[in-house]
Structure 1
Amino acid sequence: MKSPKELSINDKLIKLTKEVIGLTQEKDELPLRIMEILVSDEEIQEIQDYANTVSIVRLGFNDHGPVHMRTVCKNALQMLKILYQANIRTSLEVEQSGTFLDSVSAVAMASFMHDFGMTIGRQDHELYSGILAYDVVNRILEKLLPGKSDLRRKVTIRSLALEGIIGHMGGRKIHSLEAGLIQIADGCDMTKGRARIPMELNRSPSIGDIHKYSANSIEKVQILTGEEKPIRIEVNMSADVGFFQIEEVLLHKINSSPAKSLVELFAGVDGSAMKRYL
C-alpha cells in the first residue's frame, strides 16, 4: 500500500512530466510512459520500501525509501525544466547522442532507483544501486523500446541512467549534466519530513543522528529560476544545525557536480538574512 504522501508525489510527477514534454516540439511520450511504470511497478515499490526499512530501522538513518526517491525525481525534473526554458542543452543534446526527452527519461529512472542499494547497506550503496537497477531499467526499456531500431536509444538512456545512479553520492567522478542534476536533486531532499520517522523511534545515539537532527531543522527547500544563474536553490531552516546538511551534504554534491556552474545557493535561519554559498 502506498502512503498518502507517495500518492500525492506520484500525481505531481505525472503532471510535471507532462509539463516538461509540453515544453518541446517533440511528439514523444517516452518519459511519460516511463513515469507511469515507475509510479506503479510492484518490484520498484518493494525495493524502495525495503531500502527504507534498512535505512531507518537497521541503520538509524533518515528516509531513503519511496518518498525520498520520488522527491529526488521531482527535484531533478524541475531543474531540467528550468534549464530547458533557459536554453541550456543537456549532455545528450550537446553530443548529438539523444534528445532532451531522452535525457528526461534517463534522469527519471535514475532518480527513482538511485537508493536501491540501501537494501544491502550504506557503504557503497550507490554501486549496489546500479547493480540492482540494471535489470529494472532494462525491463522498462525493453517494454517501451522493443524494436531493433531502438537499440542505440535504449543503450544510451540505460547508460546515462546508470551514471546518474552510481554518481549520486558525489564521491565518484561523473561527466554528464544529467547525472550532475541527480546528484544535486538528491542533496536538496533534506526537509524535516525526511527525518520524521527516525526522530520518533526510541533508540540509543548512533552515527546517523546528526543527519536526523540537521534534516529536522530544514523547513523548506525551493528550486527556482535563478537571477545570475539558471537554477536558484533556497533553503529555509528553523535552527543553525541545519547548516550541517547544507555544508556537509548539499554543498559537497553541488561542488562535485558538472552542473555546478548553473546553480546559485542561498540558505538562512527563519527571520535572518539569507547566506549565499554559490
Structure 2
Amino acid sequence: MSDSAGDDGGDTRRVYDPDDDHAFPDEKLNEVLAFVDADEEIQTYLEAQNVNAVDRKRYNDHGAKHISIVRNRALCLYDLLKAGNVDFNGAREQGLAEEDEAVIIALAANLHDVGHVVHRDQHAYYSIPLAADILDRILPEFYDVADSVRMKGEVLHAILCHHTAEEPLTTEAGVIRVADALDMERGRSRIPYEQGGRGINTLSSQAISRVSLHEGETRPVMVEIAMTNAAGVYQVDNLLKAKLRGSGLEDDIRIVAVNTNENREQLVERIEL
C-alpha cells in the first residue's frame, strides 16, 4: 500500500501489513489486494475521480491517497473489532465464509468513491453502477457465479452506506462508514474549509494532527484524535462522531480527543466524544 508505516510514524495499527498476524483469515484478502493494486482500470479511476472533487469543486483529495488511507484504516479497524469478538453479519448471512468479510471491506474501501468521476454531489449513488461493473470483472477471478453475486451485493451495500443518509445493515458496511471519516488529519479534512478564511471550518480542519487506532480497555477500539487546538473538537464532532452514529458500531468504538498543544492556557486538554 502507498500509505506506508513510515508515513504514519511507525504506528502499525494504522497500516494493514499482509505479512502481519491478524485476528482473521487473510490469505484470500491478500490475493485480492494484489490483484486490485495491479489493475489498470481501478488505478485509473483513482486518478480520474479526483478531477471533479479537487480540480472542479475545490474540495479535498478523494483519489489514491484518500483510498489508501481509508482502506488501511478499514482493515485495521476490522482487525481490532475481530480481536474484540465483534460479530460480522454481512458475509455470514449470505452463506459466505469468514475470510470473505475482509474482502468485502477491502473492495468497498477501494471503490466507494468512484462515483466522483460523474459528480461530487450524490457521488455515493453514482458509485454503485460503476463499482458493479468493476466487480463483475474482478469477483469471478476468486468466486463462482453464486458467491460472486452475493459478494457483489455486500460490497455495493457497504459502498452505498458510507453515505450518512443510508443505514448500514451489516457490520462490514459500518466499518467502511467509520473508516471514511478517519481520514481527517490536517490538510485532509472531510469538511471543506474556506480558503484563506478564519472560520470554524478552517480552524478545525487544521487542528487535527493525528488519528490513531488502538485496542481499547472498555471497548474493542479506541480512536485517539491528537489536536493542536481545541477547535478540532468541531471537526471530530461534525465528522467522525456523525459517521459513527448509526453505523452499528457505536458500542464498540470509543473516541477520545487530546489537545497536544503545550500552551497550558488551553481550555480543553482531553475530551471524550
Shorter-chain TM-score category? Answer: 0.7 to 0.9
Deviations 1:229-252 (A, max 9, x none): 111111111223322321111111
Alignment TM-score, normalising by the size of structure 1 = 0.83
- The one-letter code sitting in structure 2 at the alignment partner of 1:118 is H
Instruction: Give the match for residue 157 of structure 1.
Output: 151
Is 1:191 aligned to 2:185, yes or no?
A: yes
Deviations 1:109-132 (A, max 9, x none): 000111111122222110111121
Structure 2 SS opposite 1:50: helix
Deviations 1:71-112 (A, max 9, x none): 111111001111221222211465372222101001000001
1:18 Cα deviation after fit: 4.4
Corresponding residue to 1:237 among 206, 210, 227: 227
2:41, 2:235 → 1: CA distance? 31
Is 1:178 aligned to 2:172, yes or no?
A: yes
Structure 2 SS opposite 1:99: coil
1:164, 1:67 → 2: CA distance? 20
- The one-letter code sitting in structure 2 at the alignment partner of 1:220 is R
1:159, 1:93 → 2: CA distance? 10
Alignment TM-score, normalising by the size of structure 2 = 0.84
Q: Is the 8 A contact 1:218 1:242 kept in 2?
A: yes
Structure 2 SS opposite 1:228: coil
Q: How large is the Cα RMSD of the aligned pairs?
A: 2.8
Aligned runs of 1:84-233 on 2, under 5 Å? 84-92=82-90, 95=93, 97-145=95-143, 150-194=144-188, 214-233=204-223
Q: Aligned residues: percent identity?
A: 27
Aligned length: 258
Report the CA distance shift for 1:41/1:7 in structure 2 as closer, same or farther (over 3 A).
Answer: farther
Report the CA distance shift for 1:98/1:262 in structure 2 as closer, same or farther (over 3 A).
Answer: same
- The one-letter code sitting in structure 2 at the alignment partner of 1:276 is E
- The one-letter code sitting in structure 2 at the alignment partner of 1:154 is S
Corresponding residue to 1:81 among 75, 79, 82: 79
Deviations 1:183-241 (A, max 9, x none): 0000111011426xx99xx9787xxx976653332100011111111111111112233
1:86, 1:6 → 2: CA distance? 28
Give ranges in structure 1 of 5+ residues lacking alignment: none
Is 1:70 aligned to 2:68, yes or no?
A: yes
Q: Is the 8 A contact 2:91 2:154 kept in 1?
A: no
1:42, 1:113 → 2: CA distance? 14
2:169, 2:125 → 1: CA distance? 17
Q: Is the 8 A contact 2:177 2:247 kept in 1?
A: yes
Q: Is the 8 A contact 2:66 2:183 kept in 1?
A: yes
1:15 Cα deviation after fit: 5.5
2:16, 2:258 → 1: CA distance? 30
- The one-letter code sitting in structure 2 at the alignment partner of 1:182 is I
Write 1 or 2 for the structure with the bigger share of helix: 1
Instruction: Give the match for residue 17 of structure 2.
Output: 16
1:273 Cα deviation after fit: 2.6
1:57, 1:169 → 2: CA distance? 22
